[in-house]
């Protein structure tokens, strides 16, 4: 019950530490007959790879994925897909000092309390490198969703005080800007803000937004496995996420019913909503509209300023963190949010296939 498995139908079980031999994931429940090669996964991993810009850790990792099982002659076989990414640039010496104290904003103290000790090299399992398994697994989920006409797209919405202007939304910019913002002008501003933070040995947080388009209506279960509940659990399980919103989110709590309700209308193509305050989900079930969610991410806790803390010996002391750290986590976390959303949606799409007697009957009569 240590919770390293995500999902019920399409599951990922992730493993690996920042400075171990490798990290990886076992994907179970992937349907047979999907074309799959390393490149499908590598594309996603490259989006979270360190060292790409001056706002990410200078640690250089190839992060090259290997498919070890579950694929035969270019097709998934229906059996577990084991994906492995070797660690190649561990410099454990950088971290040896961390062994002796608790970094503020990190999991050093809580791991020690829970387990009695910890793998202090680069945060061990609490490192952002843990997300490699999520992204590798999520890449497969996203590929399946694309075959079903569903697209998941995440991007940076804000860094510190700098927000994008949706009127300037340019999808290609997401993978071209250093900030993963789809607005090149806001991105340049955000870069200035980050430079100022770095100059003061400080760090920044921000907001990631994610849209899911092409969703069929009916996805999500009625009570505990609501689509929004499962998305919330998935996205909040990413380290550093401190808040989660669906649709209008926090703004909805301030609105009146007459403002927040989305009127339905019908045309020849079916039933639609005039607005989308709901973020594509009603009663926990997709309504066919675009699903919109946001993750609020705290500033990188590793800052180079001197900080007050406590040693493992429980003596008060000050520390100055060294090593390689991103001044902002947001741009590299964009693909992680996208992948967790894809995994969640696919898992619930699979659940939904048994929701109706006529669907089951049709399946077994084929």
CB of 168 to a copy of itself, least distance (A): 21
CB of 238 to a copy of itself, least distance (A): 8
Residue placing its CB nearer to a copy of itself in the complex, 49 or 325: 325
Listed in sequence order, the residues at least 6 apart from 129 whose beta carbon sits closer than 8 Å to its beta carbon are: 16, 17, 18, 23, 87, 122
Listed in sequence order, the residues at least 6 apart from 348 whose beta carbon sits closer than 8 Å to its beta carbon are: 219, 220, 221, 225, 227, 230
CB of 152 to a copy of itself, least distance (A): 16
Q: How far apart are CA 4 and CA 136, in angstroms?
A: 15
Residue placing its CB nearer to a copy of itself in the complex, 116 or 172: 116
Q: How far apart are CA 306 and CA 312, in angstroms?
A: 18
Nearest to 219 by CA among 151, 283, 143: 283
Q: 270, 183 in Cβ contact below 8 A?
A: no
CB of 90 to a copy of itself, least distance (A): 13
CB of 25 to a copy of itself, least distance (A): 9
Residue placing its CB nearer to a copy of itself in the complex, 178 or 281: 281
Residue placing its CB nearer to a copy of itself in the complex, 119 or 183: 119
- Cβ burial of 327 (10 Å; 0-12, 13-18, 19+) is buried
Angle among Cα 273, 278, 283 to the nearest 5 degrees reads 100
CB of 239 to a copy of itself, least distance (A): 7
Residue placing its CB nearer to a copy of itself in the complex, 167 or 258: 258
Residue placing its CB nearer to a copy of itself in the complex, 176 or 222: 222
Nearest to 136 by CA among 53, 61, 43, 68: 43
Alpha-carbon torsion angle 46, 51, 54, 56, nearest 10 = 80
Find the length of the chain. Answer: 366
């Amino acid at each position: 019950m240590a919770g390293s498995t995500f999902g019920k139908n399409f599951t990922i079980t992730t493993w690996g530490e920042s400075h171990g031999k490798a990290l990886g994931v076992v994907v179970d429940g992937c349907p047979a007959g999907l074309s799959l090669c390393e490149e499908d996964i590598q594309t996603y991993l490259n989006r979270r790879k360190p060292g790409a810009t001056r706002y990410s850790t200078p640690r250089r990792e190839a992060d090259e994925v290997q498919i070890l099982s579950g694929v035969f002659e270019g097709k998934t076989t229906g059996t577990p897909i084991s994906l492995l990414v070797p660690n190649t640039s561990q410099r454990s010496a950088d971290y040896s000092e961390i062994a002796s104290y608790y970094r503020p904003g990190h999991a050093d103290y809580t791991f020690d309390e829970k387990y009695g000790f910890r793998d202090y090299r680069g945060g061990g399992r609490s490192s952002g490198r843990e997300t490699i398994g999520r992204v590798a697994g999520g890449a497969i989920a996203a590929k399946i969703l694309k075959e079903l006409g569903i697209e998941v797209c995440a991007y940076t919405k804000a860094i510190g005080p700098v927000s994008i202007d949706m009127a300037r939304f340019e999808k290609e910019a997401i993978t071209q800007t250093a900030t993963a913002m789809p607005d090149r002008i806001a991105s340049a501003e955000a870069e200035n803000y980050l430079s100022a933070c770095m100059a003061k040995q400080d760090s920044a947080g921000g907001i990631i937004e994610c849209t899911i388009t092409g969703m069929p209506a009916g996805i999500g279960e009625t009570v505990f496995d609501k689509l929004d509940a499962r998305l919330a659990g998935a996205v909040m399980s990413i380290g550093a996420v401190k808040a989660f919103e669906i649709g209008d989110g926090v703004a909805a709590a301030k609105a009146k019913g007459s403002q927040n309700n989305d009127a339905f209308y019908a045309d020849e193509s079916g039933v639609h909503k005039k607005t989308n305050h709901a973020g594509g989900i009603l009663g926990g079930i997709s309504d066919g509209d675009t699903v919109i969610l946001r993750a609020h991410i705290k500033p990188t806790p590793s800052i180079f300023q001197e900080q007050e803390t406590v040693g493992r010996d429980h003596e008060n002391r000050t520390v100055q963190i060294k090593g390689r750290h991103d001044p902002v986590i947001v741009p590299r976390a964009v693909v992680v949010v996208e992948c967790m959303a894809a995994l969640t949606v696919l898992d619930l799409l699979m659940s939904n296939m048994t929701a109706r007697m006529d669907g089951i009957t049709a399946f077994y009569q084929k």
